[in-house]
Structure formats: C-alpha cells, structure tokens
C-alpha cells in the first residue's frame, strides 16, 4: 500500500472517481471530478484519507450509514449520496448518452426522470445471526461484512417502520451463522417477505417462524426459498388499476413513481395499437395496462409470474383479451414471422438485454417498438440491431429508479 495525492478527472460508469497515474487509472470511490485527494492506494484502487480541494458539487450525505465523513461509506447500498442533485442527475443522463454513442447512436436523450427519497418499495437486505444479535442491513462495498441499519432514506417509510418485525422474522428463520437474503416488497396489504439461502427448517423451527410472522402487524406473506410459509393476507400490487398478487420474490419495479413513468411512455407510444406483444412480461407491469387499449400477448419464462398475470387478467373487467405464453426468449426468441399480427411490441429484458430477440424483431414489419432497460450498455447494443434493421429511434428517456447509485433505467421508443 502506498499513500499519494491525486486529482480526480472524471467519474467512471460505477460512480467511482478516476485519476491518472504513471501506472494507469486509479479508481477512488466517494470522490468527485476536480477534487484533489490524499489516498491510500493498492494497485488501481484508492481509499480517500483526506480531501485537499473539495468539489463545489460535494454535499453532506443524508444518511448516517453512508459513512461518518461522507468519504468512505460504510453501508454498501448507496454510492453517490455525497454528490449534489443537479450534477448527479447529469452524470446518470450522460451514462445513457455515452452507452448509445459507443454503438454509433446519437439520438436526443431527454431529461432524466428524478428519483426521490422514500420511494423504494422493494429492498433486498443481507442478514446474519451472530452470538449477540440479528444483523439486517446491507453488505459493505466489496465485502461480506453486513452493516446493520437503523434508517434508510431511499426506502419507503412502511419498510423502515417495520425493521424490528423484519429482524424478528429473520431471527426465527436463521438456522446458522451463515448470511442469507431477505427481499422485502411493500404491497397494498402489507409486507411481502421472501427469504433465500436458508437451509431446511426443522418442524419446530418452521412452527416458530409461522407464529412469529402471525404475531406481527403489517406482514402479508413470508416465504422461504420460494415456498410460502404463511400468508395472513394475499400481497397485492396494482398495475394501472389492475390488482395482481406477485409470486414470492417475484420481480416488480423497485419504485412506484419509476414504474408509472415507464408505463406512461409505453402507453403513449403504443397509442391505439390493436394487437400488442409484451416480451419478458413478468407479472404484467405493462401487459395489464396495455390491455386497456388493445389485445395483448404476454410472453414470460417464469411460470409463477405468468400465472399471476393470467389470473389478474381473467379477474378484471374492462380489459381486452390477454393471452399468455411461457417461453424462454433467450433460448427461443419469437421468430420474425411470429410478429406479423402485432402493431406494437414492448420488451423489458433482464440486464443481459435481448440480443437474439432483437435480431428477429429487426426483420419484422412491426410499426412501433418500446424498449425498456435497466442496463444502458445492452440497450445500446439492442437498439443498434433494430436501427440497422430499418427502425428509427424517436425518443430516449432515462429514469432514475435506484437513487444515489450508478444504475439507471431507460425507455426508448422506435418506429419502422
């Protein structure tokens, strides 16, 4: 380890400051462009010891778990709390511009739809039982050390108010000192708690966990490794006025405002389409809204998510027909000729994107496409495929769903 003083030139894609040195770039978390900082350096990684020249864009972090000095955050949940709002949003928008440019695409990128504190309804905690305590929090960056949290400005008040209940459920399920995951979703009927990576429970442990959950207020469901342990009330979320009960640990957008912003863009572009294909449909975030304007064919690989979508569609009045298809679109994308019936296609894949699916879609005659993505790099690759196939990008909107991190959602619309 060596100690040296460096000047931060720019932020990297992960939000770390980057400084130049004789041996190549040095990555310095919690620094900002223009700052002169003294660092302890190991290879290409620097840890701030002190700041000689702070940036005017530096702000006081709003959360005590971010680090006592706002320099080397203890909690690994957020990475950019030390950056003022305007430059932070500009940085995230620029990530999208740079990703598109890397594939030769230069469409106009709109202003970012901002995220605000207290909006996160889906949070994944790390947990571990110690001799004295039950730790529930987030892993420190680049570490297995769990920082137990008492507050979390990004998370909804409903989740933070029930941290003691989440801890009690975690304690009733912990069978060893091994760490495990707790996914918490705030639903209309209470918290949906999905625990993974815990070994099989004995019958007495199972009974104790069920009794614990039933004794607590505001808990809708507790599941373990995908199996429902107890469900005092069915967890319900709403997609554009349609109520859906997602499967345990099932995917939902992390914040309601971001979901609404995405859905608004999807609906506006679909316009008056009579037949719509929704690919990677999940539990129906977009499908069930789109069914108010046209017939929808929803394609999804996860059987439980698809069943939730299907059940909601069948039990909601006023929707156009919704058909569902269980299909792994990575292994078996819809072929070009299968797109013939559709006026519009929406796709919202995981981080890996939809490369093979876009190759087929690019050869189709579908008039309108909406691409939704949580990864600007794979989105840029997919859009380049579609543009080469004769599509024109009409709008690109970045959406900040993961506040104070380097993750950014994007909705892009295209026309043939």
Q: How many whole angstroms separate alpha carbon 400 and alpha carbon 116?
A: 9
253 among annotated binding-site residues: yes
348 among annotated binding-site residues: yes
Which entry of 75, 78, 152, 374 is annotated as an active-site residue? 374
300 among annotated binding-site residues: yes
3-state SS, the chain, equals CEEEEEECCEECCCCCEEECCCCCCEEECCCCCCCEEEEEEECCEEEEEEEEECCCCECCCCCHHHCCCCCCCCCCCCCCCCECHHHHHHHHHHHHHHHHHCCCCCCCECCCECCCCCCECEEEEEEEECCCCEEEEEECCCCCCEEECCCCCCECHHHHCCHHHHHHHHHHHCCCCCCEEEEEEEECCEEEEEEECCCCCCHHHHHHHHHHHHHCCCEEEEEECCEEEECCCCCCEEECCEEECCCCCCCCCCEHHHHHHHHHHHHHHHCCCCEEEEECCCCCCCHHHHCCCCEEEEEECCHHHHHHHHHHHHCCCCCCCEEEEECCCCCCCCCHHHHCCCCEEEECCCCCCCHHHHHHHHCCCCCEEEEEECCHHHHHHHHHHHHHCCCEEEEEEEECCCCCCCCCEEEEEEEC
Q: How many whole angstroms separate alpha carbon 45 and alpha carbon 40?
A: 8
Catalytic annotation present for 358: no
Note whether 370 and 74 are within 8 A (CB).
no
Nearest residue to 62 (alpha-carbon basis) of 48, 81, 76: 81
Neighbours of 333 (CB within 10 A): 20
- Binding site for S-adenosyl-L-methionine: which residues? 253, 280, 300, 348
- Binding site: which residues? 253, 280, 300, 348
Catalytic residues: 374
């Amino acid at each position: 380890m060596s100690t040296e003083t460096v000047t931060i030139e720019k932020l990297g894609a992960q939000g770390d400051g980057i400084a130049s040195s004789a041996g190549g770039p040095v990555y310095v978390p919690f620094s900002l462009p223009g700052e002169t900082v003294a660092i302890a350096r190991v290879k290409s990684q620097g840890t701030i010891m002190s700041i000689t020249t702070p940036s005017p864009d530096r702000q006081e972090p709003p959360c005590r778990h971010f680090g006592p000095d706002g320099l080397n955050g203890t909690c690994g949940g957020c990475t950019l709390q030390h950056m003022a709002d305007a430059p932070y949003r500009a940085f995230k928008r620029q990530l999208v511009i740079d990703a598109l440019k890397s594939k030769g695409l230069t469409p106009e990128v709109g202003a970012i739809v901002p995220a605000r504190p207290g909006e996160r309804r889906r949070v994944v905690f790390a947990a571990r039982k110690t001799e004295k305590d039950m730790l529930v929090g987030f892993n420190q960056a680049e570490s297995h050390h769990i920082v137990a949290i008492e507050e979390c400005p990004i998370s909804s008040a409903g989740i933070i108010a029930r941290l003691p209940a989440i801890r009690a459920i975690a304690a009733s399920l912990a069978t060893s000192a091994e760490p495990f995951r707790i996914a918490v979703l705030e639903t209309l009927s209470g918290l949906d708690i999905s625990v993974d990576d815990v070994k099989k429970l004995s019958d007495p442990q199972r009974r104790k966990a069920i009794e614990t959950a039933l004794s607590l207020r505001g808990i809708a469901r507790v599941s373990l490794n995908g199996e429902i342990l107890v469900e005092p009330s069915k967890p319900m979320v709403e997609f554009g006025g349609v109520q859906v009960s997602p499967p345990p640990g099932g995917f939902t957008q992390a914040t309601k405002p971001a979901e609404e912003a995405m859905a608004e863009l999807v609906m506006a572009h679909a316009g008056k389409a009579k037949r719509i294909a929704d690919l990677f449909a999940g539990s129906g975030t977009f499908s069930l809204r789109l069914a108010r304007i046209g017939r929808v064919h929803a394609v999804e690989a996860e059987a439980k998510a698809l069943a939730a979508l299907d059940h909601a569609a069948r039990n909601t009045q006023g929707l156009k027909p919704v058909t569902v298809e269980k299909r792994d679109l990575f292994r078996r994308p819809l072929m070009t000729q299968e797109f013939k019936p559709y006026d519009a296609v929406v796709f919202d894949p995981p981080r890996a994107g939809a490369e093979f699916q876009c190759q087929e879609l690019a050869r189709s005659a579908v008039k309108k496409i909406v691409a939704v993505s949580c990864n600007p790099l794979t989105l840029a690759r997919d859009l380049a495929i579609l543009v080469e196939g004769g599509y024109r990008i009409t709008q690109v909107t970045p959406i900040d769903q993961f506040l104070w991190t380097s993750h950014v959602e994007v909705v892009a619309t295209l026309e043939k």
